[in-house]
Structure 1
């Protein structure tokens, strides 16, 4: 299974729109049996973390059916949680952001 990459920030939407896009993708996953997602939300131009990033991560923390939420900054071999996820889903190690400490993405594994 591959990691489905979803760019939530491509047109710089308000955070509410970006979260809605994410929810639509995750809801559709029930029908397609997709389990691995990488949401591109950016880090924000302020240098302190963007609104989309924060809103996406808050929404994911409250969502049922999520096995792992792996922030891009700890998506790699130095995170025990990421290693555990990659052991179950080896495709995670093949993602171009594995080990790059990319604050602008969040990887999600559904149950």
Structure 2
């Protein structure tokens, strides 16, 4: 069976399909995606132990880069704090992302601690992006990451 790529979530769907079975978006009939893009992108904000301001600046830059590259889902690695009680960068990222959702600049975000096949939000994300199944073991309930859907 010939396949095309969903223009929203990047999953393979039948070429004659007019609706993506993963994200339910409507698709043009018969249109094939000419280029395969990487639809799940990982951004590691921990590299170099940045300050909160530096980390948020990098996150903003990477969100724009992903949007322009056709990426639909970002796995942000921010760490969970050296004291084990939630780091400043993690908390700042969550506040920043909450503001982005309110401003409708991103679709949604899912904290790693809420991500698993058992949680409704995690299950919905996995259904929209089946490639997440390959890393579910390391990402599940991971307080040091956040998924951002553009």
State how many pairs are aligned.
109
Larger RCO of the pair (alpha carbons < 8 Å, separation 6+): 1
Higher share of residues assigned helix: 1
Q: Which runs of 4+ in 1 moved over 3 A?
A: none
Alignment of 1:55-94 (within 5 A): 55-63=92-100, 64-94=104-134
Q: 1:65 to 1:89 in 2, by over 3 A?
A: farther
Deviation at 1:75, TM superposition (A): 1.2
Name which of 3, 28, 31 aligns with 2:68. 31
- Give CA-to-partner distance per residue, 1:25-72, whole Å, 9 cap, x none: 111122111111111111111221000000111101111332221111
Residue 72 of structure 2 corresponds to residue 51 of structure 1: no
Secondary structure of the structure 2 residue equivalent to 1:65: coil
Q: Distance in 1 between matches of 2:128 and 2:120?
A: 13
What is the match of residue 5 of structure 1?
42
Partner of 1:102: 142
Considering only CA atoms, is the larger Rg found in Structure 1 or Structure 2?
A: 2
Consecutive unaligned residues of structure 1, counting only runs of 5 or more, are: none
